[in-house]
Amino acid sequence: MIDKVRADAAAAVSGIEDGATVMISGFGRAGQPVELIDALIDQGASELTIVNNNAGNGDVGLARLLASKRVRKIICSFPRQVDSWVFDGLYRAGEIELELVPQGNLAERIRAAGSGIGGFFTPTGFGTPLAEGKETRTIDGRDYVLEYPIHADYALVGGYLADRLGNVVYRKTSRNFGPIMAAAARTSIVQVDEVVDVGALDPEAIVTPGIFVDRVVAVGERRWLENGAFVGADDAEGNRHGADDDRNDAEGDRNDSGRASA
């Protein structure tokens, strides 16, 4: 009987080796698999290459992984924002390498890896430093630059529900990078709030089919959610931050994406 469920997050990330390339889903906090990231920190793998949309928020999740000095290089589209002080400090100190990729190119390079596409031409980045050393071509009068797929050894993905076969559904915009990353990695590991019985998921609602998923772990309701609303998160020492401010942020400034969709 196929059963991809693991007992806990530690078991789910076991075997990730030093020097691995690891994709981590999420757009900021939305869809970020924090429990899997924490387990990876405890597991001890180092010299990692991380692929993510951004470079961490505050002191939790991906930012905490960077702070642990286990990441050699990060490939992302949005490394700096108001609360990206961990990455900023590491980069200024020369302690982490950055490959900056425009967001659309990043998504398409990941998708290409999962689709078996060897490369593609895009106008984004042409004529900028990001295109230096890359093949270019003029097609129908427009200039393009050749980009290659991004493959990964592992993908850590934040989902909502899954069954033991690895079929996954997502909650709202937490879907972001998860589906394409699951397809692009050699081993895909998904954390969900709950594992349900086979047949309980509407087949029409399944976004990531089980064929793309190798391990699943149920972690319960995520730490920064309260009845589906963003209420802050714990830092590396376990201290709660942001709860009161984010509850009162009804108009939604910097935490809109997390509260609406994490």
Report the share of the chain in percent with pLDDT over 90: 75
What does the pLDDT read at residue 193? 94
**Mean pLDDT, range 226-247, rounded to an integer:** 49
What mean pLDDT value characterizes the chain?
87
- Per-residue confidence at 239, pLDDT binned at 50, 70, 90? low
Domains in the chain with CATH codes: 9-117+149-224 (3.40.1080.10)
What does the pLDDT read at residue 84? 85
Using CA atoms, how far apart are residues 232 and 100, in angstroms rounded to an integer? Answer: 28
Using CA atoms, how far apart are residues 56 and 54, in angstroms rounded to an integer? Answer: 6
Using CA atoms, how far apart are residues 71 and 59, in angstroms rounded to an integer? Answer: 15
The structure's pTM equals 0.84
Report the share of the chain in percent with pLDDT over 70: 84
More confident residue, 81 or 126: 126
Query: Is the distance from CB of 143 to CB of 123 less than 8 angstroms?
Result: yes
The model's pLDDT over 102-141, given as tens digits with 9 standing for 90+, comes to 999 999 999 999 999 999 999 999 999 999 999 999 999 9
Query: Is the distance from CB of 46 to CB of 70 less than 8 angstroms?
Result: yes
The model's pLDDT over 176-221, given as tens digits with 9 standing for 90+, comes to 999 999 999 999 999 999 999 999 999 999 999 999 999 999 998 7
Q: In this structure, which amino acid lies at residue 77?
A: S
Predicted confidence (pLDDT) at residue 258 exceeds the cutoff of 80: no
* Dihedral angle over CA of 20, 26, 29, 35, nearest 10: -50
What does the pLDDT read at residue 18? 97
**Mean pLDDT, range 31-42, rounded to an integer:** 94
